[in-house]
Structure 1
Amino acid sequence: MAAIKIAGGPINQTPLDWKGNLQRIISAIEEAKTKQVDILCFPELAITGYGSEDLFLSIWFPNKALDQLHALIPHCKDITVAVGLPVRLENKVYNTMAIIKDGKLEGFVAKQFMAIDGVHYEFRWFTPWESNRLIDFDFFGEKVPFGDQIFQHGTMRYGFEICEDAWRGPVRPGYQLQKRGIDLIFNPSASHFAMGKTWERKELIEFSSKTFDCYYCYVNLLGNEAGRMIFDGECVLSHQGEILGRNQLLSFEDFQIVPFDLDPKPQAIAPLLEKEWEFTQASALGLHDYLRKSKSRGFVLSLSGGADSSSIAVLVAEMVRRGIKELGISRFCERLGLSSENQSEQSLMSQLLITAYQGTINSSQETFESAKNLAESLGATFYHWTIDEEVLSYTQKIENVLGRKLTWDSDDIALQNIQARSRSPIIWLLANIKGALLLSTSNRSEGDVGYATMDGDTSGSISPIAGVDKHFILHWLKWAEKNLNRSGLAQVNALQPSAELRPQENSQTDEKDLMPYEVIVEIEKLAIRDRRSPLDIYLILGEELSLEKPVLKGYIKKFFQLWSRNQWKRERYAPSFHLDQFNIDPKTWCRFPILSGGFAEELELLEQL
């Protein structure tokens, strides 16, 4: 086989940004040509963006994607380009890769298997293509082959498995491609980021190249494309079970050109990241893209001095630090519509993150100092005020109409919630004035059990940490203090997590209100991720946790009751990033009825043990 240079083209696209999407593809092609690339493969649905949702169901949207492909072809002289787009055919929509060789469309390959689990709902939009089926397709008056086919470049034969195609075990297209004597398989993907997922991909890619006795090239989308899912832009080449090359993931660039020589010797291989680094980098990139694509002018954060809001403040700081490091101050500012004149990391932080400590009579001096010191250490703008006057105004009005005083003995939840809710209008006002995104501070553990005040701490435009559990957040903050050199976290990490909504003499803590966070995590994994029953969870955790049986039963019962009761809250949470193996967002990963019997019979069985 003659020497051939291929490349993957991870690219950061946006649904309905037709001009921008096309220009990024063209710019990537031009860069690939300068690197003397023979075949350039973009990810699936690169022309439209993977997250176009129900736009795929329309007639005009896939047709416009074909128009974009038609406009792209003249830019593909002296190179072969594979690019993804939706194609409508006989009232069905197919997820395809178009292959253009030296300015001529050679044909389309259609995806054979749809991703239908977790955050993916591809069967809603796309129809699977049949194995070995090939038809003629009318492309602007020219008939081109469409379906299941392979292509040739010199003496090399290559084909495609499109994302989910590769995950279907013994029925995956790779086995048919092997029978056709394939030399190279491209896997153009839109595979969402999740902590630890690169290890799973590594195993799949190594297995694929060894099993099919070929080169296997994986190419993923890049960035926070449409709001919730983040793509890491991974590009990998493997041969006979060995990784030959891998790029650095989670880039802030619009695109990457990752060239590989089809040579069985290892090339540049970026290391796989630890979970803590993955979370940091994915969140930073997610925030950056959400900010610029929403055309907002910064972030506003109600900074309580506690773990959740502090972790978000640090993630914004990492967004600025990483963006400047990779893009330089000038390009970073240009992306966000800011002047780059006389700018530094510190000055950008003061513009992009505005924080406020909103104290009450129940707030402690320790949390105020924690919030203030952290904001100052990060360079964020810091304001502070009290909301006791607003809380008093609300409670007095209700006391007047009820004809009685509100007390902590009889009105505990209401008195807690009115404090959290009173913070919301003021911080929203600040965000509106600044043209900024309000950051919501809820985490996944709070979402599980509804330990959040609707229209209070759930208020926001985006909820960056709602996809991860509180136990991880507490661990990550200690890691970040050391590994990210964020000394302002020292006071945060010394505090016991507390809502600080009851009088201080009550010594309120989150875990006293709920249960230990490490227990919530274990129940959550089994109940939500693995969909186990309360009885199953009791039997499993009874062997794994050192808890007395009545205590464990109580925790499991409390979790399921609170979970069922608070689905309406989860339906209303701000959009969140998908960052872990699973999440509890009903618009993506986890659907659950708003009204239900609340596991009453299942919990009764548990009590009978």
Structure 2
Amino acid sequence: MANIKIGGVTVNQTPLDWKGNFNNIIDAISEARLLRVDILCFPELAITGYGSEDLFLSYWYPQKALKQIQKLLPYSQDMTICVGTPVRVQELVYNCIAVLENGKLKGLVAKQCMAIDGVHYEFRWFTPWSAGEIISFDFFGENVPMGDIIFNNGEYKYGFEICEDAWRGAARPGYRLKDRNVDFIFNPSASHYAMGKSRLRETLIKESSKELNAIYFYVNLLGNESGRMIFDGEIMVAKDGRLLEKNQLLSFKAYQILTFSTEQEITASIGNPQKYKKEEEFSQAVSLALFDYLRKSRSKGFVLSLSGGADSSSIAIMVAEMVRRGILELGSDLFLQKLHLDIALVPGEPEKQIVHQLLTTAYQGTKNSSKDTLESAKKLAESIGAVFYEWEIDEEVNSYTAKIEKAIGRSLTWQKDDITLQNIQARSRSPIIWMLANINNALLLTTSNRSEGDVGYATMDGDTSGSISPIAAVDKTFIIKWLKWAETSLGYQGLQYVNALQPTAELRPQDNKQTDEDDLMPYPILLKIEQNAIRDKRSPMDIYLILKEEIDIAPSLLKKYITKFFKLWSRNQWKRERLAPSFHLDEFNVDPKTWYRFPILSGGFIEELEELASLDE
């Protein structure tokens, strides 16, 4: 058969950025033309962006998307272009791939299986297409086929599985495509990023190419498109069960192209060129997410209340990593241009100069703060080039305390008012750090992690106050491990100070020797309970029976920890509802807007915990 060159393009799109999205597409087409690509496939919903939410439900939005398709027609001369777009047919909206060729729309392929788990709620917007159904669609006065269709390009036949379509086992469209003897199957996707997920996709693509007897081409969206989900921009080609091509993931570029020619001699699989540790993936994903969030919000930088502890230190390092990786891939000039910043760099240490412009930090101490955490915060800020301020908030705390004591007619004491006296310190930090963010036209970064979100170990309108929460989807155990890895593997020597400290809120008097794990439970045990309860959705009794075999701990203490987790979890759902937007990074998270929905008001597992308490040990 004649040689044909196929290409996949990942693009970093943004809902409602019609001009930017269109330019990314035509720039990629221009480059693909230079590469002599015959069929070029873009990701799912590349015209609008996947995260358009309820805009999909309007009449005008899908219609405007089709006008963008119409504008693309002239760019399809001597090339086939496949691009994702929403399509409305009367009252229903479909998730489609438009196939353009020689200035014409050849047809629209509609997605048959909706993603409805975890971060995906596609049934809210889209209707699944019925297998085998084909209709005639009016495309600005021209009738084109729409539905379950395949296409020809010379001697070759090709078809599509759109993202979730490929993950449905025996119900997947690929088996019907195999029966129709297609040579290529394209999988244009908007598959959210999670640490370790690439390996699962790679297995699917390799097995699909063998089982479906076709060259299988996978193309995913790229970047932090609309605030929470991250797309890694993965492109892969497989044939006969072997992975032939794979690109660099989580790029800072507007688009990437990967090509494959049928005349290429296939001798062996390339294996996996990116066997990253979880820590490396986390660094890449958060760096890109912060970069996209900053530039798409057109903010001028970040502000961070830097306590010297693990959480805020990890976020400071991620901003530095954003700068380092962005410069490495784009160069200083393009990196600054994308961030809408005009900085005159002088010779030497451009990363520190840019971090100094982008990141402002402040250590907000009280009489309960230690010299160790001040030193940790200051040394870390200096090591990466961040602006660093320090001040005390005791005056504000004392003012609030005096007012309430006068109102209620008694003094507050640690014995009687422990939580109140802790929380007022955290809340007193919020107004002044917000002032700094407003002055700088910057995003205020919050520092809560997933473990704290589970049990409400965070002060609402205190350490949870901010514009975005970069680490709210990862557990504290991982954060601590990652910081040690970042010190040695990424070379952030300023982390030696925080890595020598034990996590503590520093809200009680210093002679109390407060630590997070004393307040809660050991973080590794909290993680085990969380994984079983939230990820695997098990009952308190099931978790007890599982963990008493897995970890060496007294049964009575294990019961105590499980009971504490479920009580605090159900009591603090309202806090999770109010957390700043966070990135989805792990296999699961506790954000009710993107993964785990739980009632704000509930019975709090009373019967389940009573059953656990009564169990003989």
Which residue identity does 1:297 align to in structure 2? K
2:289 is the counterpart of 1:286: yes
Q: Give 2:138's aligned amino acid.
A: D
Q: 1:496 matched to which residue of 2?
A: 502
Select the residue among 327, 332, 336 that pairs with 1:329.
Answer: 332
Q: Is the 8 A contact 2:301 2:442 kept in 1?
A: yes
| Cα separation, partners in 2 of 1:444 and 1:93, compared to 1, 3 Å | same
Contact conserved, 2:10 with 2:222, CA < 8 A, in 1?
Answer: yes
Paired with 2:300 and 2:593, the residues of 1 have a C-alpha distance of 27
Check if 1:296 corresponds to 2:302. no
Find the aligned partners of 2:326 and 2:462 in 1 and give their Cα distance: 31
Structure 1 partner of 2:114 = 114
Check whether the contact 2:235–2:258 (CA below 8 A) recurs between aligned residues: yes
8 Å contact kept, 1:11–1:42: yes
From 514, 520, 523, the counterpart of 1:514: 520
Q: Is the 8 A contact 1:440 1:460 kept in 2?
A: yes
Ranges in structure 1 where 5+ consecutive residues have no aligned partner: none
SS at match of 1:10: strand
1:341 maps to what in 2?
344
Q: How does 1:415-564 map to 2 (within 5 A)?
A: 415-564=421-570
CA contact (8 A) 1:320 1:348 kept: yes
Supply the distance in 2 between the matched residues of 1:402 and 1:260 (Cα, whole angstroms): 75
Distance in 2 of aligned mates of 1:66 and 1:35: 27
* Residue in 2 that maps onto 1:310: 313
DSSP-derived class of the 1:462 partner: coil
**Any idea what the Cα deviations from partners look like across 1:190-212, whole Å, max 9, x if unmatched?**
00000000011011111100101
Which runs of 5 or more structure 2 residues have no equivalent in the other structure?
none
Question: How far apart are 1:272 and its partner, in Å?
Answer: 3.1
Structure 1 CA distance, aligned partners of 2:207 and 2:91? 37
**Contact residue 245 and residue 266 of structure 1 kept, 8 A:** no
Judge conservation of contact 2:156–2:183 (CA < 8 Å) in 1: yes
The DSSP-based 3-state class of the residue aligned with 1:84 is strand
Aligned to 1:353: 359
Count of residue pairs the alignment pairs up: 609
**Alignment of 1:149 onto 2:115:** no
Q: Secondary structure at the match of 2:129?
A: coil
Deviations 1:511-542 (A, max 9, x none): 00000000010000000001000000000001
Aligned to 1:271: 274
Separation in 2, partners of 1:271, 1:588: 27
The alignment status of 1:375 with 2:375, answered yes or no, reads: no
Q: Distance in 1 between matches of 2:296 and 2:268?
A: 37
Render the CA deviation track for 1:3-53: whole Å, top value 9, x for unaligned.
111111000000000111111101110010011111110000000000000
| Partner secondary structure for residue 291 of structure 1 | helix
**Equivalent residue, structure 1, for 2:46:** 46
Question: How far is the alpha carbon of 1:271 from its aligned partner?
Answer: 2.1
SS state at 2:66 partner: helix
- Find the aligned partners of 1:399 and 1:122 in 2 and give their Cα distance: 52
Question: In the TM superposition, what is the alpha-carbon distance from 1:576 to its structure 2 partner?
Answer: 0.1
> Aligned equivalents of 2:608 and 2:171: distance in 1?
38
SS in structure 2 at match of 1:182: coil
Contact 1:198/1:272, CA 8 A, preserved across alignment: no
CA displacement, residues 481-506 of structure 1 (integer Å, 9 cap, x when unaligned)? 00110000001000000000000000
* 2:257 alignment counterpart: 257
Alignment partner, residue 233 of structure 1: 233
Task: Tell me whether 1:158 sits opposite 2:158 in the alignment.
Answer: yes
Aligned mates of 1:37, 1:335 — CA distance in 2: 28
Instruction: Name the amino acid aligned to 1:328.
Output: G
Per-residue Cα deviation, 1:239-277 (whole angstroms, up to 9, x for no partner): 011000100000000011111223334587632322111
What secondary structure does 1:226 align onto?
Answer: coil
1:27 aligned partner: 27
**Residues in 1 aligned to 2:211 and 2:269: alpha-carbon distance in whole angstroms:** 21
Equivalent pair of 1:95/1:126 in contact (CA under 8 Å): yes
Amino acid at match of 1:522: K
Which residue does 2:201 correspond to in 1?
201
8 Å CA contact retained: 1:260, 1:267: no
Alignment partners' CA distance in 1, 2:499 and 2:260: 45
Match of 1:362 among 368, 385, 396: 368
Q: Which of 582, 586, 598 lines up with 1:576 in the alignment?
A: 582
CA contact (8 A) 1:330 1:340 kept: no
Task: Tell me which amino acid in the other structure corresponds to 1:398.
Answer: I
In structure 2, C-alpha distance between the alignment counterparts of 1:273 and 1:3, rounded to whole Å: 35
Q: C-alpha distance in 1, partners of 2:111/2:5?
A: 25
Where does residue 406 of structure 1 map in the other structure? 412
Q: C-alpha displacement at 1:150, in angstroms?
A: 0.7
Which SS does the other structure have where 1:188 is aligned?
strand
Cα distance in structure 1, aligned partners of 2:269 and 2:152: 24
Q: Distance in 2 between matches of 1:265 and 1:588?
A: 43
Say whether 1:219 aligns with 2:219: yes
Query: Could you say what secondary structure the match of 1:256 adopts?
Result: strand
TM-score where L is the length of structure 1:
0.99
Deviation, 1:345, is 1.2
What letter matches 2:443 in structure 1? L
Q: Which amino acid letter does the alignment assign opposite residue 489 of structure 1? A: L
CA contact (8 A) 1:334 1:340 kept: no
Please report the RMSD computed on the Cα atoms of aligned residues, expressed in angstroms: 0.9
CA positional deviation for 1:342:
2.1
Q: Which residue of 2 aligns with 1:245?
A: 245
Whether the aligned pair in 2 keeps the contact of 1:329 and 1:340 (CA below 8 Å) is no
- Give the deviation of 1:427 after TM superposition: 0.2
Residue 257 of structure 1 aligns to a residue whose secondary structure is: strand
Residue 606 of structure 1 is matched in structure 2 by: 612
Which residue of the partner structure matches residue 17 of structure 2?
A: 17
Alpha-carbon displacement from aligned partner over 1:403-439 (angstroms, at most 9, x marks no partner): 1111100000000000000000000000000000000
Paired with 1:283 and 1:108, the residues of 2 have a C-alpha distance of 35
- Asked if the contact 1:32–1:40 (Cα under 8 Å) also holds between the matched residues in 2, the reply is yes
